Amino acid sequence: MEDNHDDPKVTPDGDNGVISLSNSPDSSNGSDSNSPHVWLVGGGIASLAAAVFLIDDANVPGSHIHILKASSKAGGSMATFSKPSWDTGYRVSAIRKMSLTYHCLYGMLEKVPSETEGETLAARLRRFNQESKKLGASGSRLVRQVFDENGREKPEAVDVSTMGLSVKNQCDLMRVVLETGRVGRA
Residue 39 pLDDT level (bands cut at 50, 70, 90): very high
Domain extent, residue 14, equals 1-85
Query: What is the number of helices (H) and of strands (E) in the chain?
Result: 4, 6
d(CA 24, CA 61): 10
Q: Are residues 164 and 113 in the same domain?
A: no
What pTM was estimated for this model as a whole? 0.49
Q: Cα-atom radius of gyration of the chain, to the nearest Å? A: 22
- In this predicted model, what pLDDT tens digit does every residue of 46-86 receive, in sequence order? 888 899 999 989 999 988 999 888 877 666 766 555 555 54
Closest CA to 38 of 27, 28, 25, 48: 48
Q: Please tell me what DSSP assigns to residue 83.
A: S
Q: Are residues 70 and 118 in the same domain?
A: no
Q: Are residues 3 and 40 in the same domain?
A: yes
- In this predicted model, what pLDDT tens digit does every residue of 132-157 receive, in sequence order? 665 555 455 567 778 889 988 877 77
Highest mean pLDDT out of 80-84, 116-120, 134-138, 162-166: 116-120
